[in-house]
Each structure stands twice: as C-alpha cells, then as structure tokens.
C-alpha cells in the first residue's frame, strides 16, 4: 500500500489525539464484540465488520461540521458510531431487537438516524452514491452550506451509476465529498484483479472533478484531506473525490473465510500500519499520555461496549404489531 500523503499534516492538540484514539478504539471493540455475538448466534444474517478501517471515518468526522450528512454501504457500523449514534441502538439492531435503530427490523445493513444526519446503511453496491448526490442537491437547493460525505468501496467504484453521478454532481456543483474507501478487496477480488487503472480517484478527471489519494491508516492525514475537501465543497466549487487507501483485517463478512489472501499479508498490515497503534505511539512518544492513561481509556471503552452488548441481549424481540409499520411512507395499515 502506498504510504504517500498528499496533504500536509496539521498540528494537533493532545485532546484531539486522545479523542481520535477513543473514537477508533470504540469502533474496534464494538466490532470485535459484534463478531463474538455473531459467533454465539445472537446476530444473524449479513454482518460486515469495519476492523482496520477506523481511521477513515474518525478522520473525516473530525473534518465535518454539525448538519453535514453521511451515507454509506453495508459496512456501516463504524460510520454510525463515529457520527455519534448510540452504541446500544446499533448493537440492538444487530441482534434484531426492539431497542435497535430500526426497531430490530433492519439489521446490520439498514440503520438510519435523522438526528445525526446518517442516511444508511445500503446493501446494494454503489446504490448510495446517487442517493448521496441527491442529499447534496437538497442542501444546495436550500443554500444551507452543508456537505454530504458519500462513502463507497473500491469494488463499487467500478459501478456505472458512480459515473453518472459524477457527471451530474460536477455539472450542478453539488457539495458532495465522494469517499472511496479502497480497502484493496471487493469480496474476494483484489483491486489488482478488478481494474487496470492504478488510481480510482483519477477517474473523476473525466468529469472535471478534483481529488486525491490519502493514507487511510493515518487519522491525521485523513482529517487534513477531509478538511480540504469540505472547504472546497462549502466554497461552492462542486464535488471532490478522496480515495482513501485502507485495509480490512477481517473477511468481507462474517461468513467469509478469506482464502484469497495470505495470513502474512494481513499480519503485516496489522503490525506495520495499524491506525490505532499509530495514534497510541504518538500519544506515548509525545508524552501526551502514559500507559496507565491508555489502559484507563481501554477500560472505559470496554465498559461502553459491554453495556451495549447487554442492552442488545435484554431488549425484547420486536412485537408482531410492528410487522407492517415503517414499510412504506405515509401508508397507514388497514384493519383486516
Ligand atoms: C449491485 C450489487 N452487486 C453485487 C453485490 C454483492 N456484493 C456485496 S458486497 C460486494 C463487494 C463490494 O466491494 P467494495 O465496494 O470494495 O466494498 P467493501 O466490501 O470492500 O467495503 C459485492 C460484489 C451487491 N450487494 N450489489
Ligand atoms: Mg473494498
């Protein structure tokens, strides 16, 4: 993976670094717990973990302002936690319980929060890309200065609808940051096997869209690139593409034995490029925190995740009365 950074790193305070450490750790521990609950049969269906990619959402959320929107694929737990959604509500949705964000009827891939401006959670590869442009269109129409982060993967980047969206987004100068989370794989297909073009962000040039590649294992590099992209969009210059080079440590989903890559490849990434470890080192070498301080944070995060897991087991199954609610907009179920 290229460790090239195209954006200069900003100065960062101790408080900010600690916050990024916390936020990334929350995602990792939450995902590890989700993996355990899946193994225990408490979570069913599809479940795509975000372990390894934490610096992407945490860095971009650090560049976002209140009211900015986000929309992503099925690999969505990290995005929800990073924008401030309640870990209890997310975990209870994974276990299909009433206390979940979709009252237990959506599951891992289908959660939303109007309050946190999180628009899903989409299972169809790249379907969220035109929707993200639509959200940005609404903001432009309302002249409210908001920006939409539209996340999609390296595999999704080969979908035709992405390019129709690029064309319209640039034509209408929509305030949308297209975030390509290039984690090197689309299910079992490596990016080298799916495309000959070396960089995905450069495809935007065909539509007049600017962009850049970012080191997604460095939360500060992501934040800096995010700030640049957001400022560009807010200035009314139109969309911007960030191709964020990252890596997923787990299989595509919980049912993937990941036989298309070697253990050594994953191990090397974990040992040499882990984003959380990187911030941990910065905190320790910069004397911003001691080992004990970090242990304390670890404990606190584990507590939050354990509480979420407890809640997700205790929350009741959705009642049968809920079967026909929230299905279609403005449709009131009729008495049989
Ligand atoms: C339109 C469509 N085609 C195929 C699939 C099956 N599918 C689910 S995820 C996926 C791979 C997508 O990879 P990528 O965009 O790189 O995202 P990642 O899983 O790496 O986050 C595929 C082919 C689907 N859900 N939707
Ligand atoms: Mg991918």
pLDDT of 336 > 60? The answer is: no
Q: DSSP string covering 41-90, please?
A: TSS-S-----TT-HHHHHHHHHH--TT-EEE--S--HHHHHHTT--HHHH
- Taking only the tens place, the pLDDT of each residue in 13-33 is 999 999 999 999 999 999 999
Please tell me the predicted confidence (pLDDT) of residue 335.
Answer: 62
Q: How far is CA 18 from CA 82, 292, 297, in A?
A: 14, 13, 9
Q: For residue 270, tell me if it sits in a domain.
A: yes
- Taking only the tens place, the pLDDT of each residue in 259-285 is 999 999 999 999 999 999 999 999 999
pLDDT band at residue 7 under the 50/70/90 scheme: very low
* Structural domain containing residue 106: 14-295+305-310
Q: Which of 283, 165, 173, 149 minimizes the C-alpha distance to 223? A: 149
pLDDT of 100 > 60? The answer is: yes
Q: DSSP string covering 206-274, please?
A: GGT-EEEEEETT-HHHHHHHHHHHHHHHHTT---EEEEEE---SS-SSTT---TTS-HHHHHHHHHHH-
Q: Which atom of ligand 1 is nearest to the CA of 124?
A: 26
pLDDT band at residue 190 under the 50/70/90 scheme: very high
Q: What are the φ/ψ torsions at residue 194 (nearest 5 degrees)?
A: -100, -15
How far apart CA 285 and CA 290 sit, in angstroms, is 9
Residue 316 DSSP label: P
Name the residues around ion ligand 2, CB cutoff 5 A.
153-154, 183, 186
* Cα angle 256-130-105, degrees, rounded to a multiple of 5: 55
Q: For residue 3, tell me if it sits in a domain.
A: no
Q: What is the CATH number of the domain that holds 167?
A: 3.40.50.970
pLDDT of 128 > 50? The answer is: yes
Q: For residue 218, tell me if it sits in a domain.
A: yes
Give the total number of structural domains in the chain: 1
Its pTM stands at: 0.95
Q: For residue 49, tell me if it sits in a domain.
A: yes
Q: For residue 175, tell me if it sits in a domain.
A: yes
Q: For residue 129, tell me if it sits in a domain.
A: yes
Q: Which atom of ligand 1 is nearest to the CA of 125?
A: 26
Q: For residue 7, tell me if it sits in a domain.
A: no
Q: What is the rounded average pLDDT of the residues 175-187?
A: 98
- The CA 72 to ligand 2 mean position distance, Å, reads 13
**Which of 182, 187, 189 best tests ligand 1's pocket when mutated (most atoms within 8 Å of CB)?**
187
Q: What is the rounded average pLDDT of the residues 297-310?
A: 98
Q: For residue 5, tell me if it sits in a domain.
A: no
Average pLDDT value over all residues in the chain: 95
């Amino acid at each position: 993976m290229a460790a090239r950074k195209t954006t200069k790193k900003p100065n960062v305070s101790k408080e900010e670094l600690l916050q990024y450490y916390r936020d990334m750790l929350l995602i990792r521990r939450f995902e590890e717990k989700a993996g355990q609950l899946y193994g225990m049969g408490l979570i069913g269906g599809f479940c795509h973990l975000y372990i390894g990619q934490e610096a992407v959402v945490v860095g971009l959320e650090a560049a976002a302002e209140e009211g900015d929107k986000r929309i992503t694929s099925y690999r969505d737990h990290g995005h929800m936690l990073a924008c401030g959604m309640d870990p209890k509500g997310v975990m209870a949705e994974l276990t299909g319980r009433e206390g979940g964000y979709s009252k237990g009827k959506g599951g891992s891939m289908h959660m939303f929060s109007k309050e946190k401006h999180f628009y899903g959670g989409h299972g169809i590869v790249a379907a969220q890309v035109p929707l993200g442009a639509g959200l940005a269109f609404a903001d432009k129409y309302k002249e409210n200065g908001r920006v939409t982060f539209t996340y999609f993967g390296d595999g999704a980047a080969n979908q035709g609808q992405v390019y129709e969206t690029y064309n319209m987004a640039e034509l209408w100068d929509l305030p949308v940051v297209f975030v390509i989370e290039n984690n090197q794989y689309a299910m079992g297909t490596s990016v080298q096997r799916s495309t000959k073009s070396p960089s995905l962000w450069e495809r935007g040039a065909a539509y007049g869209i600017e962009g850049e590649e970012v080191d997604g294992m460095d939360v500060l590099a992501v934040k800096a690139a995010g700030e640049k992209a957001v400022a560009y969009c807010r200035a009314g210059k139109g969309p911007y593409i960030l191709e964020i080079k990252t890596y997923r440590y787990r299989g595509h989903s919980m049912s993937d034995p990941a036989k298309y890559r070697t253990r050594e490849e994953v191990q090397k990434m974990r040992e040499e490029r882990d984003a959380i470890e990187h911030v941990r080192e910065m905190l320790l070498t910069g004397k911003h925190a001691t080992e004990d301080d970090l242990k304390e944070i670890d404990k606190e995060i584990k507590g939050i995740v354990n509480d979420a897991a407890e809640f997700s087991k205790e929350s009741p199954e959705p009642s049968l009365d809920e079967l026909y609610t929230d299905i279609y907009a403005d449709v009131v179920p009729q008495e049989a």
